Amino acid sequence: TAASFLIVDDDILNAYYGKVPGSESSDDAGGYIFPCNATLPSISFKLGGHKVKIPGSTMMFEDLGDNICFGALQSNNGGRTIFGDTFFKEQFVVFDVGKTRIGLANKP
């Protein structure tokens, strides 16, 4: 994937950022922002029989200055869920093109 973010449905997005004090959706920034000193929760996904946990420490994408950070979890605007770099950095991933499948294992 060429995406840097985890792109998810708004119900997941809003539930996640609802746990982050001071977070808000910003039209100017183009997505969710929050105070850089916020403690971000981990997020988990279940794909097939595999549970993927992404630590909150990896959910900050960019420091915008003035203690405002841009999140690595953003809206798909009702489209497809996209697992970008934030997801793949936490997994060992094997792409099996011949059998059109992908294998995942959590990194220690």
CATH code at 41? 2.40.70.10
In this structure, what are the phi and psi dihedrals at residue 14, rounded to the nearest 5 degrees?
-65, -35
- Structure confidence by residue, pLDDT tens digits, 23-77: 999 999 999 999 999 999 999 988 888 888 889 999 999 999 999 999 999 999 8
52 occurs within a structural domain: yes
Per the structure, the count of domains in the chain is 1
Provide the pLDDT for residue 1.
Answer: 57
pLDDT at position 91 over 90 = no
25 occurs within a structural domain: yes
1 occurs within a structural domain: no
Q: Which two tokens stand for residue 69?
A: 């950070």
- For residue 81, list its beta bridge partners: none
pTM: 0.83
Instruction: Provide the domain limits for residue 29.
Output: 6-106
Closest CA relative to residue 47, chosen from 11, 98, 6, 108: 6
